[in-house]
Amino acid sequence: MPGFGALASHWWMPVLFIVIAGHFTNVCVTLFLHRAQTHRGVRLHYIAALPMRLWLWLTTAIVTQEWVACHRKHHAFADREGDPHSPLMEGLRNIVFKGAFYYRKAVRQPGILEKYGKGTPTDWIERHVLSRLNWVGILVMLAIDIYLFGFFIGAAVWGAQMLWIPFWAAGIVNGVGHALGYRNFQVKDESRNISPIAIWLGGEELHNNHHADPKSARFAAKWFEFDVGWLYIRMLQFVRLAKVDYARGH
């Protein structure tokens, strides 16, 4: 085990940690929250899902039922009145920089969890830790970061982790993904594919493809597109930790 502040000895170490940890957070969001829990395109074995749930608890304080309810409502009202986070309704700048605010506003609406959040985990750890004490996880992460990087750099690393999902998911995917990019499918909403090589955001860059076929566990639709989330699913499937219920072209 490294000593206190040991990973702050070189400038690139905290940067590399933020990038790797951030990518893993994106992967947990797209695989567990999005493809498995919200749309049921893939089923993750408990052994695969639990580390993802714990990591999201540490790095985001997201409550599974709230995230699922917000996203299902987004699909039900995409880019029209009732959409929790549409740049067409609220403005691109607002969604990019205040996406988390719109998320919190949506999940606090009466009845939204009961209507759109059905089927999410209700096991002991969800009831007593991950949902009930969702704020504790990010404090544990703060303690870990301070131990690894020291008081000042550790706090900065933690701050970057706390801003990661509000910016990249709530902001970029929900904002840019409905404003800029290319479209493979003429769906009713304004969803766009941000990039055909979908690695940084775990595959969520292929947003138009997803809106055209939400249940699909595979987001790529054209030969030149690459969905790294699907690669991770195939790896989990290979070791029998994932079962694909439906995937486009599979």
Residue owning tokens 């540490």: 58
- Asked if the structure places residue 159 within a domain, the reply is yes
- Asked if the structure places residue 173 within a domain, the reply is yes
* pLDDT tens-digit readout, 136-186: 999 999 999 999 999 999 999 999 999 999 999 888 999 999 999 999 999
Pairing of strands 226-227, 42-44: unpaired
Q: How many domains does the chain have?
A: 1
Q: What is the mean pLDDT of residues 216-240?
A: 98
- Asked if the structure places residue 1 within a domain, the reply is no
Spatial distance between the Cα atoms of 225 and 206, rounded to a whole number of angstroms: 8
Report whether pLDDT(96) > 90: no
Phi, psi dihedrals of residue 136, rounded to the nearest 5°? -70, -35
pLDDT at position 90: 87
Q: If we measure between CA atoms, which residue out of 191, 181, 166, 188 comes closest to residue 86?
A: 191
Helix axes 228-238, 12-28, angle to 10 degrees: 70
* pLDDT tens-digit readout, 174-211: 999 999 999 999 999 999 999 999 999 999 999 999 99
Indicate the pLDDT class of residue 75, thresholds 50, 70 and 90. Answer: very high
pLDDT at position 99: 81
Q: What is the mean pLDDT of residues 114-141?
A: 97
| Single-letter residue type at 190 | E
Q: Which two tokens stand for residue 51?
A: 């580390």
The secondary element (H helix, E strand) that includes residue 226 is strand 226-227
- Asked if the structure places residue 249 within a domain, the reply is no
Q: Give the mean pLDDT of the chain.
A: 95
- Asked if the structure places residue 250 within a domain, the reply is no
Question: In which domain, by residue range, is 232 found?
Answer: 6-244
Report whether pLDDT(250) > 80: no
Give, in degrees to the nearest 5, the angle at Cα 61 between 59 and 66: 135
pLDDT at position 15: 97
- Asked if the structure places residue 124 within a domain, the reply is yes
Q: Which range among 35-39, 99-103, 106-110, 201-205 shows the weakest confidence by mean pLDDT?
A: 99-103
* pLDDT tens-digit readout, 16-37: 999 999 999 999 999 999 999 9
The secondary element (H helix, E strand) that includes residue 197 is strand 197-198
Is 0.85 topped by the overall pTM? yes
